[in-house]
A = this chain, B = another copy of it.
Amino acid sequence: MSHAPSPALSRRHHIVRDELSARGLDALLVTALPNILYLTNFTGSSATVVLAADRLYFITDSRYVETVSAMNATPHHVPDFELIVVDGSYDATLAGFLATRPWTRIGFEAEHMTVARLGWLTATLAAGDTPAAELAATDGLVERARVRKDDYEIATMREAARRLSEVAADVLTMVRRGQAERDLAMAIDWRIRQAGFERSAFDTIAASGPNAALPHARPGERTITEGDLVVLDFGGVYDSYCVDLTRTVSVGPASSRAREVHAAVREARDRAIACVAPGRSRFEIDAAARDTLAGHGLGEAFGHGTGHGLGIEVHEDPRITRRRPDVNTQDEAVAPGMIFTIEPGAYLPGWGGVRIEDDVLVTADGVEVLTDVTTELIEV
């Protein structure tokens, strides 16, 4: 279980209930596990939640009953909670439960409901004795609440970022000539868990030499060699929340080209962070990094977005990206409580690459950088 206090859970439910009532919905069927965790602290792998106006119905199977019940007596209990234990299958249990409710319109998460599952539920409800409620598609009701972190989440992620920064300081000293990338990645993962993280937040990247030109390289058998730049990108999950950090080191004295590219990426990182404040556009923050790199002739070398939101998932809104009218449809302005990465990079095929990544919090009047480890080019 995660550990958000009950009043925080209550506020989260309230935000979503306001959205439900604005849409004329009697309840919301929550099927995405990160959303379920947000509303209930549940960290298991199987559950369905039905959030109604005065109750949160929690459907899970016998494996989790003991854990869920134990939470009831704690300061982390779910307000207005009612447990329903699966009998047969999850969906048969859910359909049986919904048939007993007097509801007429029930929202579901269209981005987290498969066509097969909706088809089965609709047919099963229609075949029942009572008039079936309408199942109505909704879009991001819980995710939009999750974008601005509450005090509990901020405290958790601040601590997570502090621990990851300690890991990063050690990681900078762990790079060795002759070491295979994958052995370095394993050692980083070990250090992450020693620091109290539940697990790595994603497959750790240790990309050396020409591999550093691939933003999503997988660590392989290549051995780290004098003269390499090595991109190290790693993250951890701490009390269910993700943090993420990247540094690039030079193996031996850096070439003048490596120094130039690193300095340009570092300047892009600094300028993007300086741009973060409530009300600023996420496209503007991206442009601060992108224009800096372009000014150093590295515009083409930066192919990905400047950052992504962090939280229960390692990639969340807001996306700090180029303005693309055809694909960017979400809100534009960043707001207090948002936490996201700033991670510009420059990738030169055949030569190598540099990326620097930190995690930032939008505060009431500006920005707090949650991660804290040198951004200078370290030569190891």
A129: interface (CB < 8 Å): no
> Cβ of B111 and Cβ of A111 under 8 Å apart?
no
Of the listed stretches A113-121, A277-285, A372-380, name the one at the interface; the rest are far from the partner chain: A113-121
> Cβ of B114 and Cβ of A216 under 8 Å apart?
no
A137: interface (CB < 8 Å): yes
A: which residues have CB within 8 A of B?
Answer: 44-45, 62-64, 66-67, 88-89, 92, 108, 110-119, 137, 139, 182, 186, 189-190, 193-194, 199, 203, 214-216, 303-304, 324, 326-327, 349
CB distance from A380 to the nearest CB of B (A): 23
- Identify 5 new A-B residue pairs, CB closer than 8 A, beyond the known A88-B327, A111-B114, A182-B193: A63-B216, A88-B324, A92-B327, A114-B114, A119-B137
CB distance from A250 to the nearest CB of B (A): 24
CB distance from A202 to the nearest CB of B (A): 9
Query: Which residues of chain B come closer than 8 Å to A63, judged between CB atoms?
Result: 214-216, 303-304
Query: Which residues of chain B come closer than 8 Å to A324, judged between CB atoms?
Result: 88
CB distance from A28 to the nearest CB of B (A): 14
> Cβ of B137 and Cβ of A116 under 8 Å apart?
yes
Q: Which residue of B lies closest to A91 (CB)?
A: B327
> Cβ of A89 and Cβ of B327 under 8 Å apart?
yes
Known A-B contacts A88-B324, A88-B326; the reply to A114 vs B119 at CB < 8 A is no
Q: Which residue of B lies closest to A216 (CB)?
A: B63
Give Cα distance in the complex from A107 to B184, angstroms: 44
> Cβ of B186 and Cβ of A190 under 8 Å apart?
yes
Q: Which residue of B lies closest to A118 (CB)?
A: B115
Q: Which residue of B lies closest to A187 (CB)?
A: B190
Instruction: Give the 8 A-B CB pairs with smallest separation, nearest first.
Output: A110-B116, A110-B115, A111-B116, A89-B327, A113-B115, A63-B216, A186-B193, A88-B326
> Cβ of A139 and Cβ of B114 under 8 Å apart?
no
Query: Which residues of chain B come closer than 8 Å to A303, judged between CB atoms?
Result: 62-63
Q: Which residue of B lies closest to A66 (CB)?
A: B214
Known A-B contacts A119-B137, A190-B186, A193-B186; the reply to A92 vs B326 at CB < 8 A is yes
